[in-house]
Amino acid sequence: MLVAIMRSRVTSFAGLAWIGVALLQTATAGAQIKAQPPAGAVAPAWDKGIQPISRESYWNAIECGKQKGNRPACVFYDVDLCKNDDFALTFFTPYKFVSYNVWEVVSRRQPPPTPDYGAAQRTRITLGITPVKGSTNPITALTIKRGGATVKPATQSVDASGGRFIFDFAAFAPTSDITIELIGQKATRTCLVDQSVLKTFR
């Protein structure tokens, strides 16, 4: 009788443990998101990925900033990039420093400026994370995985409004696929970014 009871308890414990592992795996992984670039051709063309500012990228970014519309794709390529129910991603890069400053002025029907080249040179990659409306899963950390390696941000700041994660350029080099891990209090969202998509980042 005692043996039967013990077996029953072991079986029940094993079942609960399996359920716990399954729930943990669901919370940790969930359905992987695949990064989606803007639909259609994006002008001006760019296929070198995020990099320190250069003469080529500087003038390309100025042309990008001259694009008309409320949300030109070359400036706001990161909108809905890794769309999910918890986090919205926004990149700030040397290219975007230039293109956004130009677009902001041009959208007010003023002549396009020539943003500070030195300031663009000093700009690193900042990935801003804000909660999607209705989300109850605040961001706690963010890492990038490339192959078997994990890349952590050089610096980060996290509060109730979201997080800012600063990376060196190598983290987003378009040399292979990467996975962005958005680690929340309740669940982790993962976003696969193909090498071909990384090349379109600016």
Domain count, the chain: 1
Is the residue at 21 inside a domain? Answer: no
In a domain, 98, yes or no: yes
- 98 membership: H or E segment, kind and range: helix 94-106
Question: Considering the domain boundaries, does residue 29 fall inside one?
Answer: no
Contact (CB, 8 A) for 114 and 62? yes
Note whether residue 131 is domain-resident. Answer: yes
Q: Please tell me the distance from the alpha carbon of residue 164 to that of residue 142, in angstroms, as a whole number.
A: 9
Residue 192 belongs to domain spanning: 43-198
Within-domain flag for 71: yes
CA pair distance 73, 93, nearest whole angstrom: 15
Would you say residue 37 lies in a domain? Answer: no
User: Diameter of the chain by CA atoms?
Assistant: 89
For residues 169 and 184, give the distance between their C-alpha atoms in angstroms, rounded to a whole number.
24
Q: What is the value of pTM for the model shown?
A: 0.83
Query: According to the model, what pLDDT value does residue 40 have?
Result: 84
Q: CA-to-CA distance for 166 and 198, rounded, in angstroms? A: 17
Token pair in block for residue 59 = 């003038």
105 domain-assigned: yes
For residue range 165-200, list pLDDT tens digits in order: 999 999 999 999 999 999 999 999 999 999 999 999
Q: Is residue 180 part of a domain?
A: yes
